[in-house]
Amino acid sequence: MAEVIPFKGVLFNVPKVSKSSGKELLAPPYDIITPEHQQKLYEKSPYNIVRVDFGKKEAGDNEQENRYTRARAALDAWLREGALIVSDSPSFYAYEIAYTVEGEQQKLCGILGLVRLEALGKGNIHPHEYTHSKPKKDRLDIMRYCEANISPIFSLYHAQERTISRLLAKNVGSKPYIEAEDGDGAIHRLWQIKDRTVADAISAEFRGKAVFIADGHHRYETALEYQRERRKKDGPSDIPRSYDYVLMFLANMAEEGITILPTHRLVKELPQDALDLLAADFDIREMQEIDEITAAIAGKRDVYGLYTGGKTWFRLSYKGEGIHGVPSALKDLDVTVLHDLIFKQILDVETVAYEMDVQKCLQTVQSGEFKAVFFLNPTGVYDVERVALASLRMPPKSTYFYPKLMTGMVLHIFNKSL
């Protein structure tokens, strides 16, 4: 079973350092922060968490003075000043996000806690998609210098009994400890759960349950690497150390409120006879209402949109049933048909770019930057569970979980958490 425990989280001392409910202290995930947004976050507050999690590079940076040393210095200073405070007892933290998607109001609820690290896919913690190979040194250096998890990993579990949701309903009615609105208008709220009986019930719900990483595969792999480094340095121990755990947000997929948005595929090259090549496996319908491109495929399995410029686009309906030779958990997925059949077997597409915004997709094709864009529907949350439990992985960018978690709600500082 996955081991999920309460911990002494480090929280912003909101009354001391915030003029409101703490909104100027938080930041979105580092990997979606542009340089312009980074500057705005700096200007919001001298205590904005971006200064730790994704600080600026400065002219003259060297091995002794750089954004990682500044991150550690800020963390230490904030603790000394009382801008950050350590919870007085091991706690879970209820995290609720009220947001709107496609005009509908949604609410995502879950808990922030520590999850015992284990090798991915070999126990109770499962990845669900391949990730692009990219340097992890940045996240590893943040962990090395700060000796902390600054931002949580977004994960899912499946519990039909819904014990945690009932417990959370009793705890989130009071005034939240921190409350902030993100750039998309979603409201993020946090409550501390100190009651030991409630904490034990929360931990118990995870017995025999698998945990599926939704967003944060790289951070999890980085936590494993850091654990290996520390174990080599510190030697063996029968008692788990704080770096044997990682900070996670855990949401029950049996509950409503989990949203996965589609990530569309842009291609630089497309054969001139692409439609003829596709016709053997797809029913192709030419359509004119370009602004309704995603609505025309919404909710339809094995249906894709293709736009190559001008005022016409095409709806592609797959005539087959999965892909021969592909494991059953993967073969029927839209992203698998798109990548393994359309890109690899039919069109020989090698380079793919990713974009969520439909209008940006259209504009990049119209400008000639890309040759075409393929639109697809979002992957289902239970598809994520099925693929992960089969120890398989989807193509990169198969899921975009929305909304994104805010960084700074609670921190896991290793020498203070247990």
Whole-angstrom Cα distance, residue 127 to residue 298? Answer: 26
User: Is pLDDT of 88 > 80?
Assistant: yes
Tell me the pLDDT tens digit for each residue of 317-345: 999 987 888 899 998 899 999 999 999 99
CB neighbour burial string for 49-79, b if at least 16 within 10 angstroms, e if fewer? bbbbbbbeeeeeeeeeebbbbbbbebbeebe
User: Is pLDDT of 399 > 80?
Assistant: yes
Whole-angstrom Cα distance, residue 157 to residue 258? Answer: 12
Tell me the pLDDT tens digit for each residue of 263-285: 999 999 999 999 999 999 999 99
Would you say 84 and 411 are in contact if contact means Cβ atoms under 8 Å apart?
Answer: yes
The mean pLDDT value for 135-140 works out to 85
What's the CA angle centered on 40, arms 38 and 46, to 5 degrees?
90
Q: Give every CB contact of residue 11 below 8 A, 6+ residues apart in sequence.
A: 84, 85, 87, 177, 178, 192, 410, 411
User: Is pLDDT of 130 > 90?
Assistant: no
Helix, strand, or coil here: 206?
Answer: coil
- The token pair that represents 319 in the structure block: 């005539």
Q: Nearest 5°: phi and psi at 211?
A: -115, 130
Tell me the pLDDT tens digit for each residue of 366-389: 999 999 999 999 999 999 999 999
The mean-pLDDT minimum among 20-24, 57-61, 321-325, 333-337 falls in: 321-325
Amino acid type, 53? D
Which domains can be identified in the chain, with CATH numbers? 4-259+402-413 (no CATH), 263-377 (3.30.1760)
CB neighbour burial string for 278-287, b if at least 16 within 10 angstroms, e if fewer? beebbeeeee
Residue with tokens 């703490």: 22
- Is 219 exposed, middle or buried (CB count within 10 Å of its CB: 0-12, 13-18, 19+)? buried
User: Is pLDDT of 357 > 80?
Assistant: yes
Amino acid type, 295? A
**Any idea how long the chain is?**
418
Q: What is the DSSP string of 339-355?
A: IIIIIIIIS----EEEE
User: Is pLDDT of 172 > 80?
Assistant: no
Q: Give every CB contact of residue 139 below 8 A, 6+ residues apart in sequence.
A: 218, 219, 222
Q: How many CB atoms are closer than 10 A to CB 238?
A: 4
Q: Percent of the chain scored above 90 by pLDDT? A: 82
Q: Which of 28, 225, 245, 221 is nearest to 144 (CA)?
A: 225
